[in-house]
A and B are shown apart, each in its own frame.
Chain A
């Protein structure tokens, strides 16, 4: 920095920031407006200062044709947390097994896990649905979460993290008398804490933002996530209460955005180091 202000950079970045902030400000402010006015085409960027009550209202009641937003937020939070925690646990275990041991079919196991990278939900919609119904998991919370817990991404990330742990550290722990499980608990997991935090952010966002999967396996409105809920709200466009939709949109994006912003440093580092 040499004291001069880099105007082109500020202008460009300012425009970029505006591009992202503008839609959010629009829904944030728009939510406070009178729904009839919005329907007449009077949506504006100036909030109505006595309209903030709409947020409390949707939390408790939701919008026509949808569950209370408070309830949907709980389902989403439950789903996101269960998926993130579940993925982290089983991925740590499997990545630990394939990097720190030699056992028969080790590479078979690894490639089996790896293959799931190539099979997103979107390419196996119908058969997955029938497996779910065979296992009576349709319209259940486990059905919403358990099948998404298996995925290769987290395992690959942890494998990479574990491979980068210096051999000497492992050897020092062995000389100190640590067995495999003790090493995992006392050394490996604490040492990988930063990557774990980053992965948590990525997986929480992944879980929170699911759309196709809950659409498929949870037709019971009581299991509606907030993302499902908001698309339902705009589905019946004729009597849409737009102020409630906007309030819901704000509430829907607030939790994952908060997680990303609060854990920004780890998240960026973990994302860019892990996926490459």
Chain B
């Protein structure tokens, strides 16, 4: 168990910067999920912490000790890889024991530790097998076991579930969360899957093009996205965006489609006429006989609910999530409840909170 502190961590490959200064502090036992689209630098960040890459600048402080210059082996960190990276020529037991062997534990101590962890993960009967004789889910467990036996200060997960089929992914997701809680090991978990991010993390770090754009709890990220990127990235189906301008002395938005929505929580700063982007999640769009006409393009039934994808009179795309029974066939009328709109500055894309 350990705290982790990153201070202005930067990384460039040649002259190409891939991480522009990451700062964060993790409490002992906390699980941080780093999420972002591919190429956002999330894997690089993980590899910097692991010691597999050397940072261009910045500090990595693990349990009060700066480990940025240390070899991976000296950091007391374990990692679960995307492709598991099991040693193909070793049995399950040998795979899990290898790190302990290098650390010079006695035979008996190794057997005891590996045995315990194997029981914990339900691998007890598989210890003599080679990785190629295991299923995907079993390999995944061995990879976890190899990390767990080491009893490291920090766990790193690099998209560990992305090679599993959908059903197994859900099971393993829950299991990872349970194990991490139970052992209380501080963890970094990298994923591009927003559902994994929402369900696993104590906190999320959303990365975009090598910059941290939001560092908060999953609910806060969902309810108060820091900018239009986060707003569009988290939540499915994705948030709708509509263009508009600030009006009525900052107390309402005049949407380009000709609707004015007063802010429910107070004024936004800036002169009237300031360009805004208004976000509203599909589940918050309200069917309303007095509302705007929406021409239906496509229906995506999800079972109990249906996503309606359609066009507003000006041609803007809009998706709406409605109960199955309410699904329209050709057209419907919608309105945007003031309590559920997200206000962003149109130029920088940053969230605009109420001033008072």
> Which of A's residues lie within 8 Å of B, judged by CB?
166, 168-169, 171-179, 182, 186-187, 190-191, 193
Contacts and interface: CB of A to CB of B under 8 A. Distances in A.
B85 A166 contact: yes
Given A176-B99, A177-B73, A186-B98, A171 B81 contact: yes
9 closest A-B pairs by beta carbon, nearest first, are A176-B99, A177-B73, A168-B85, A172-B85, A190-B89, A177-B102, A168-B81, A174-B72, A169-B85
Contact of A166 (B50, B83, B90, B146): B83
Given A171-B50, A193-B89, A177 B103 contact: yes
B52 interface: yes
Contacts of A176: 73, 98-99, 102, 146, 150
Contacts of B150: 176
14 contacts: A168-B82, A168-B84, A171-B81, A172-B86, A172-B87, A173-B87, A173-B98, A174-B72, A175-B77, A175-B79, A175-B99, A176-B150, A177-B73, A177-B102
Given A175-B73, A177-B99, 11 more contacts: A171-B81, A171-B85, A172-B146, A175-B52, A175-B77, A176-B99, A176-B102, A177-B103, A178-B73, A190-B89, A191-B89
Contacts of B52: 171, 174-175
A174 B86 CA distance: 13
B320 interface: no
Contacts of A175: 50, 52, 72-73, 77-79, 99
Contacts of B73: 174-179
Interface string B58-96: 000000000000011100011101111111111000000
Interface string B107-149: 0000000000000000000000000000000000000001000
A98 to B, nearest CB: 20
Nearest to B150: A176
Contacts of A174: 51-52, 71-73
Interface size class on chain B is 20 to 34
Interface of B: 50-52, 71-73, 77-79, 81-90, 98-99, 102-103, 146, 150
B89 A171 contact: no
Nearest to B99: A176
A161 to B, nearest CB: 13
B187 to A, nearest CB: 14
A206 B104 CA distance: 43
Contacts of B98: 173, 176, 178, 186
Contact of A191 (B72, B82, B88): B88
A168 B78 CA distance: 13
B185 to A, nearest CB: 15
A123 to B, nearest CB: 41
A182 B84 CA distance: 20
A80 to B, nearest CB: 27
A258 B86 CA distance: 35
A167 to B, nearest CB: 9
A190 B98 CA distance: 14
Contacts of B71: 174
A179 B83 CA distance: 22
Given A166-B83, A174-B72, A176-B73, A182 B102 contact: yes
A169, A177, A191 — which one has the most chain B CB atoms within 10 A of its CB? Answer: A177
Contacts of B146: 172, 176
A196 B73 CA distance: 29
Contacts of A182: 102
A174 B156 CA distance: 14
Contacts of B82: 168
